[in-house]
Structure 1
Amino acid sequence: MSAALSYSLKVWLTSLVFGTIAFWSTMIIFSPAKDVEWSMIPMYLALTMLVSILISLPALIAFFLASYTLKYTGLNAVGFKTAISLISIAACYITFYFIAQSDHHSVFKKGNFILLLCYSLPIPVCVWFYKIAKQPN
């Protein structure tokens, strides 16, 4: 497996896990239900993770292509991670934009914006956390 694909998968999967946890944490904090069935939370987390994986596949492909291309441009690690962070946030925004437009809503509507933040903020954190594989000489 190429270094760019390995890096992309690590960042993508980690950000999905943290995004899903952040989403459900905000749901519990900001809209607590009086009769919460706490035993169902793991099932909701798993279902949200599955939907997130399916919806974000185009973003994964864009992230992989960008990281594969930028890896060979000669950018230093800071330039690479900055560019990848911006590209991945844009890909996340575009994904949520199309989802919101399918319901004729705005991405910046309160509920959609919180969801966008829950999934777009972990991406740059993961980008900066994981180490980039060395470029071949």
Structure 2
Amino acid sequence: MSYKIASYVSLIFFAMIGVLFFSSSFYLPASGQTIGPEYFPRLLSIILIIFCIISFITTTKKKDVKVEFANPRYIIFTVLLSIVFIGLWHMFGLFYVFAFVYMAILFYFYNQDKHSLKKAFKYIVIALGMAIFLYVLFERLLNFTIR
């Protein structure tokens, strides 16, 4: 596949996600504070769109090369697991639980070294820490419940 075509397609895709997040942030509950629950998604979506535009411009200046996917099973597995994660989150509303499981599975799957119980425990601890960080950030600091 062409590097430029792959870059353009992915940049347009992520810019559209940024626009979608930005527009959906207007439906989040507003607070009387300057920085409320709607602030963080808007900021991230604007940054994402800006970086997509910058990358689009720099890609036009680069030389086109052929890109080979070394291991497409990683891409396919990640896409399928992401669909399952979003579906389960939508059906049951347990974002933090499913985010923890999602991250732990991805950490374990992407590990190139020999799998061991010690490494699996390490990935579970890291995924748990990230899920707790997300909980504290959204539920406690931004007072926003992810459903």
Q: Same fold (TM over 0.5)?
A: no
Higher relative contact order (CA 8 A, sep 6+): 1
The alignment's TM-score, normalised by the length of structure 2, stands at: 0.32
The alignment's TM-score, normalised by the length of structure 1, stands at: 0.34
For the pair shown, which has the larger CA radius of gyration, 1 or 2?
2
